[in-house]
Structure 1
């Protein structure tokens, strides 16, 4: 598997917090790059580009239909992303490791967390959909914010609540912030993400 293309920026200090940014389907490494500089000022940023094309739209893993994942491909690409994140963390030695992902980007970020619960100190998962039962893991001391739309047709409310319950059951400090819309990102969840990441 070829190395990820990515965009990066150094932090204000040698050991600044490092935030990884994962775009949604059809986005790219620029989708949240500038925004992250506002959410976590002074942080180092790394934004990998999804390396799967679905009818020309970039993604992080394959699917066979809406909400139906190619689980073998997800496992392969989760392992590759975990290696990528570990290598970038080792290079930078940050004070903390943060993650933010939207939709497909939230799904690959969550999948990395399931297999490597030690890797991220805090993550923001915006409109994730995990249509399978994640494995038991030890998330003690880790924090997760899920943001979701109450009427999201792609990531149903029950699935969002189940994911938060999973993280809580496995020791994470987890919370959910709702807006009264669908799958779109709204200002109130970005404000919640900034407050959460600033406090993490």
Structure 2
């Protein structure tokens, strides 16, 4: 059992797919609630806080001072997060297979990494400003998965080359990938959220 889980659940219509909220660096389990409410107003929502604390900020995995990632920690925390998702889904009687991931930055990174390197219950995601941490060693077959993902050309954290490498890996794994690039930095804008909303509204119910 994973006991060190900080989670928040916000009930919604049980007939709608639950949303899993994965925050950016410095966020918490409730951080994305306003965004989730805008995109998925009536859906149940579950947020899980990353358990790594670096420089006082919550994260899902360790990033070293030089900007590189601790891959051992990443793998450990990916397993922890997937276990936590299953536990909280049981706790709140959610169907983990129906989960839609809403991830921003650090949260989007671990969601994409989990897709490409683990067996995951969730097959739909909105990944806002993700980056590829490391290329997947084993090509995944994610046929039937779908993602809406965003990039800002002024982003000081995620390069366009890195973002393109990630989306190419997702498409090579047969993920139906909708890419939205905008003239913005590493933050959320109304423009990208409206585009995400339009994509969500076209999803099969």
Inter-CA distance 123–168: structure 2 relative to 1 (3 Å threshold): same
Q: Partners of 2:66 and 2:192 in 1: how far apart?
A: 24
Structure (1 or 2) with the greater strand fraction = 1
CA-to-partner distance for each residue in 1:29-87, whole Å, 9 max, x for gaps?
22111321221122111111121111101111111135411000000000011112233
What does 1:153-164 correspond to in 2, within 5 Å? 153-164=156-167
Given candidates 178, 182, 187, the residue that maps to 2:181 is 178
Contact 1:164 1:175 in 2 (8 A): no
CA-to-partner distance for each residue in 1:123-160, whole Å, 9 max, x for gaps?
11111121310231111011011101012110001111
Contact 1:40 1:198 in 2 (8 A): no
Q: Partners of 2:76 and 2:165 in 1: how far apart?
A: 24
CA-to-partner distance for each residue in 1:88-130, whole Å, 9 max, x for gaps?
3453126822001111111111122223455222111111121
Given candidates 141, 148, 151, the residue that maps to 1:148 is 151
Q: Partners of 1:103 and 1:38 in 2: how far apart?
A: 18
Q: Partners of 1:20 and 1:184 in 2: how far apart?
A: 19
Residue 48 (1) aligns with residue 51 (2): no
Find the residue that maps to 2:53 and give its secondary structure. strand
Q: Which residue number corresponds to residue 37 of structure 2?
A: 37
Q: Partners of 2:147 and 2:128 in 1: how far apart?
A: 11
TM-score norm. by structure 2 comes to 0.89
Structure 1: gaps spanning 5 or more residues:
none
Q: CA deviation at 1:166?
A: 0.8
Contact 1:67 1:129 in 2 (8 A): no
| Aligned length, in residue pairs | 199
Find the residue that maps to 1:63 and give its secondary structure. coil
Given candidates 124, 127, 135, the residue that maps to 1:125 is 127
After TM superposition, the structure 1 stretch with the greater mean CA deviation from structure 2, 141-150 or 190-199, is 190-199
Q: Partners of 1:181 and 1:52 in 2: how far apart?
A: 28
Q: Which residue number corresponds to residue 111 of structure 2?
A: 109
Find the residue that maps to 1:175 and give its secondary structure. strand
Inter-CA distance 112–125: structure 2 relative to 1 (3 Å threshold): same
Inter-CA distance 67–187: structure 2 relative to 1 (3 Å threshold): farther
Residue 82 (1) aligns with residue 85 (2): no
